[in-house]
Amino acid sequence: MGRIEERLVELGLELPQPFAAPPGVEFKFDLVRVSGGVAYVSGHLPTDGADVLMQGKVGDDLTVDQGYEAARLTGLAVLASLNQELGELDRVSGWVKALGLVNCAPGFSKTPAVINGFTDLILGLWGEAGRHARSAIGASELPFDVPVEVEAIVEVQ
């Protein structure tokens, strides 16, 4: 068991099943694409395999705290895909950039507080190597009515 997997256990967290296309949806892209020591992670949702774990608009159906939890679940889905592609999460040597999208009600402006659920997870697992540039953008709709979508760029060994 690697250092990151040990840290997940210490935090009482488990990786979900890697993201899978729901019935009737065809993926025409890679979930993770490694090129030149960098892994580009496609947008992920709060899912366990093909099961969507949370739905709704933050600021309407969901509170900021629930959005934060959705972002944390999305982070775990990102990690599941990285683990599947890389064979072990310890190959991730640094986090470069994250883009977080929040499905939010009109007028909702606390998107950074929601995406902190993702960032806090990564920092809790990688420490300083988890520090990353980040954007947190409000969206009027996201796929499958999920509250959060996150994509990332990471350095790999």
Q: What tokens does 124 get? A: 């809790």
pLDDT 10s digits, 22-76: 777 788 899 999 999 999 999 999 999 999 999 999 999 999 999 999 999 999 9
pLDDT 10s digits, 79-108: 999 999 999 999 999 999 999 999 999 999
Q: What tokens does 26 get? A: 């065809």
Element (H, E) at 35: strand 32-35
- Cα–Cα distance between 60 and 114 in angstroms, integer? 14
Mind listing the domains of the chain with CATH numbers? 3-9+33-156 (3.30.1330.40)
- Cα–Cα distance between 150 and 82 in angstroms, integer? 13
pTM for the structure as a whole: 0.96
